[in-house]
Chains A and B, each alone.
Chain A
Amino acid sequence: MSWLSKIRDFLTRRETVISGGGPKAIEKQLAMGKLTARQRITAILDPDSFYEYDLFVEHRCADFGMDKKALAGDGVVTGTGTIMGYPVCIFAQDFTVAGGSLGLAHARKITKIMDHAMKLGIPLIGINDSGGARIQEGVNSLAGYGEIFYRNTLASGVIPQISVILGPCAGGAVYSPALTDFVFVVEGISKMFITGPEVIKTVLGEEISMEDLGGARVQTEISGNAHFYADSELECFEQIKKLVTFIPWNNRKKADPYPPKPPKPGHDVEKIIPSEPNRPYDVRDVVRAVCDDSDFFEVQKHWAANIVVGFARMHGQTIGVVANQPLVLAGVLDVDSSDKAARFIRFCDAFNIPLVTFVDLPGYLPGVDQEHAGVIRHGAKVLYSYSEATVPKITVILRKAYGGGYIAMCSRHLGADFVFAWPSAEIAVMGPEGAANIIFRAEIQGAPDPNAMRREKVAEYTEKFANPYIAAANGHIDAVILPAETRDFLIHAMEISAQKAESRPSKKHGVPPF
């Protein structure tokens, strides 16, 4: 073969693989409102930054006529590129090739790019769009999944792992995204479940649509399996790009600083909190009033909204924000909000992101359903993850910090480096009404006018205990600060904690209350 014909031969081979499942299958994919695997990668990565590998990988399956079937790239596209200049490893399952089904060669392309990401210390992005295991390959297909899960687990806490669900992701396949740090879903396109509607109908007789069982809304609002919800693939890609700018490449690095920016005008921290402790407000307004450019990037916005978690910047440095949300369920801790906070705290600690906690909660949510769902175990995750975290931990008590909730929300006692409290803070064992009713029960019941006596005793308790000064007198908080001073105190606390190096007793790993 001449030089030129070798080149031509190569170009033909490459063209064949890049055309994926062919024009008909691509047309079908687009008709479903979905982009193709390569279009997705190109849209997420910086222009012209994608380099593809393992184009000519082929499966070895000879059963069921598979030896006569060539599957372009074995149904998955893998490579490296950059997002906003940050290097990433990426793979995208190609639904146009045998429904994106996962065989051993397909899985080995994925594990290879995962191994790259680990060795190079850069984030991994996986785009899932697959009908599931390639049945013809039998147990080899299962082996492929297992090898992926194993690497997801080893990579956890070493490199950030992002999963993007852009099609079906069913059965065992969902466990890869579940093991990663952030799961992105898109309305009408993402479908995640362990057992699908068909199986549920035959086995259990329950009828449900794919969308209602495991669509994007269900996974973001009900199950909490997904972290980011978008109306379109393009909106989803913008969210991924934004996330990548907030997090470091790996656990040996810190997130890249950005040019510092003041909060946007119109965010007045003095005017957010109502004076009555039982009135609601949106705690995100407090975050926006103190963080750079008033830019707060919320994680799991739609699930367990009684706690708010997400990323922001303070004087250019990434912080992880955890805040009780009085707007929803009075900001209580419960099973779901504890889970949400604990997972986020562990991500931040693993990736050197300082934690800033804003506290305003009346305590834990009472209820039979909560107790039976194991709120003891789930609530303990918050204590565990805050105590375990060695990144700078800064706490601002805005208003209520009662009882067990006060301890859990990164109190001094769980190792907070700095605890600040606004003058509106009420740091006490419980709210004045509840406390007065218990402490002064006899006086109230024995009074000629019990209601008047109750009001008097509640006022007495409020005056004496519903403030930050008893905690301050005991050194449990470091400073009572004006709301307007919050940003300065936070920036200073972060700056002087920049070299913080706290060690923990040597162990293989802890045993958190999973």
Chain B
Amino acid sequence: MSNKLEINGLECIRDNRPIFKDINFSVKSNQTMLVRGKNGSGKTSLLRVLAGYIKNYSGNILFNGNNIKNDKELLSEFRFLGQKNTLKGNLSVQQNIALWELIYQVKSDTNEISKILNIEQILNVDINSLSDGQKKRISLARLIISNAKVWLLDEPLVYLDQDKIDLLQNIILRHNKSGGITIYSSNTDINLEYDSSIIMDDYVVL
């Protein structure tokens, strides 16, 4: 199954300040796109617009040819992973995954997920006693259990060392192969493989 995300003349103005304007790109199934740019250049805002948080924008976001604005069905195909790790500190990893399942109305195979993420040993450990890198890895489980088509990852490489980056790379490839699209933002030199990239200019007006 192939999907296509197309963005035409996207412009976002918040508090009378343009965050970004004239963004055009298109991504197809089995593709990864990188959003590059300095801090404050609107990378996160772009991802949040795509995720449907920010509704105040002009331009078109077409998913498989349909405008996603106000289309809840289509918007629920997008999954955003931000800076917050979405974990409950006093609960174990397994309990956290169970809570996500309730949010996304899915049943998932915990064994399989823990094998993919390499978290089998810490499945019953409380989140509070884990390291930041481990938390980041566990927060990826939220992407895997939800069968969304478009993944929007905001700075996913923070806190991850090289072998964990490889892990993330594998997860993304696995997702893309099943017809998914991945868009991620980064401002470091180490990057995941990507098929196309876009550079956000600084539009913050003095």
B is a partner of A: no
Please give the residue numbers on chain B whose beta carbons come within 8 Å of chain A beta carbons, in ascending order.
none
